[in-house]
Amino acid sequence: MTGEERDLLVILASILAQGLRFATPYLYASLGEMFGQLSGMLNLGVDGIMLMGAFTGFIVAYQTPEGADVTAYLWLGVLAAALVGALLGLATAVVNVTLGAEQGISGIGFYMFGFGLSSLLIKVTVGRPTPVAFFPDIRFPVLSDLPLVGDALFSHNIMTYGAYLLVPVSWWVINRTTLGLKIRAVGQNPEAADSLGVSVARIRYLTATLGGTLAGVAGASLSIALYHVIQENITNGIGFIAVALVYFGAWTPAGVLIGSALFGVVSAVSRWVQALGLGIDPNVAVMLPYIVTIVVLVFSVQRARQPAALTKPFQRGEG
């Protein structure tokens, strides 16, 4: 192997590893949002819930007493972030299902609430960008040392592995369980589902809460797994891209996985293009992931059928 071939291998391995790692928060948030959308619930407040999850995960881990088990506190942080996310998801269900609010508008409201409250909490607790303990990368004997795929597949933190594990679990729930069938039925035809005895409101409460839970975990993955720091607006819009990735993935876990990984890998390519000095304008390079997402989105939405009742409120006895 020549030096150039070795360099190329290093770059490819780095792109794959970075791309798959970068996809972590997108996967959690998109899979959660996917459950909501499959039942007819659009939540544009994902980013705000992620911000609250990022802060919650951070502040719990940050409280680790001297000499205490750091890992235990990190897991407690994930749990607390999930709980806060669940509560916010539940709140979106109250507003959208029970009160019948317009989902797009209420979603923006929840985003602004999460953005503002998380910023305020950071100010009154730590007051500045602050590093924190984190889940270390797990390396496997032999596997992690394999060329190309060693770093890409076998050298990530536990939350990244968890995000990828969630893909088959989500597929199984949606396609192989009664609950999944009910979720899809409620999203396609709530009136028919209701006539068959399925509680539309209960299912939508469940999916909105699950979506919020996973958004909270997505936020925690940023602060205590991937970047080990808290900062105001640490998501910088990741939650909005996550919502788009559900459309991109045509409301399937595999599609969401491909979308998240593609977005991650193209983002990594855009950085390597600059690092290698290939003469591409940096303004163009940073647009690459978004251009690719938009192009694929255009084609995927054309072939995919979105849940027929998406964003439509349901009241028994109507329609």
Partner 1 sequence: MIKRTSFMLVLLLLAAMPLTAVQGQDEPLRVAVVMPSTADDLAWSQALVDSLAAVQEALGGEDALVVDISENLWQVPDAIEAIGDYAAQGYDIVFAHGTQYGGPLFDLAPDYPDVSFAWGTASDTGEDQGLTNIFPYEARAEQGGYINGVIAALLTQTGVVGIVGPVPAGDALLYIDGFRVGVMEANSDMGLEVEVPVIYTGSFGDTAGAAEAARTLIAAGADILTGSAQQVPGVIEAIEEAGGLYMATQVDQAEGWPDTVLIAQVFDWNDVILDMIAQRQAGVTGGIAYELSLENGGMKMVLNEELAATLPVPEMLAALAGGLDIDPEAEGAMVEILQALLEAGTAEVVEGRIDVLERVEELQAEEAEEATPTPAS
Q: In the complex, which residues of this chain contact partner 1 (CB under 8 A)? A: 10-11, 14, 18, 22, 25, 119, 123, 127-131, 222, 226-229, 231-236, 238, 267-268, 271-272, 274-277, 279, 281-283, 285-287
Query: Smaller CB distance to partner 1: residue 83 or 146?
Result: 146
User: Hey, what are 171's tokens?
Assistant: 């597929």
The rounded distance, in Å, linking the Cα atoms of 314 and 102 is 12
Question: Element (H or E) spanning 230, and its range?
Answer: strand 229-230
Distance in Å, CB of 17 to partner 1, minimum:
8
Count other Cβ atoms within 10 Å, centred on residue 198: 17
Distance in Å, CB of 101 to partner 1, minimum:
25
Distance in Å, CB of 273 to partner 1, minimum:
9
DSSP string, 69-121: -HHHHHHHHHHHHHHHHHHHHHHHHIIIIIS---HHHHHHHHHHHHHHHHHHH
Residue 18: how many CA atoms within 13 Å on its side-chain side?
Answer: 14
Question: What torsion, rounded to 10 degrees, do the Cα atoms 284, 285, 291, 296 define?
Answer: 150
Give residues with Cβ within 8 angstroms of 185, minimum separation 6: 192, 193, 196, 198
Distance in Å, CB of 233 to partner 1, minimum:
6
Query: Smaller CB distance to partner 1: residue 144 or 199?
Result: 144
Closest CA to 198 of 207, 211, 180, 185: 185
Query: Smaller CB distance to partner 1: residue 14 or 189?
Result: 14
Query: Smaller CB distance to partner 1: residue 78 or 226?
Result: 226
Distance in Å, CB of 39 to partner 1, minimum:
29
Query: Smaller CB distance to partner 1: residue 228 or 312?
Result: 228
Query: Smaller CB distance to partner 1: residue 292 or 304?
Result: 292
203 and 186 Cβ atoms separated by less than 8 Å = yes
Give residues with Cβ within 8 angstroms of 197, minimum separation 6: none
Query: Smaller CB distance to partner 1: residue 276 or 301?
Result: 276
Q: Which residues pair with 230 in a beta bridge?
A: 130
Distance in Å, CB of 275 to partner 1, minimum:
4
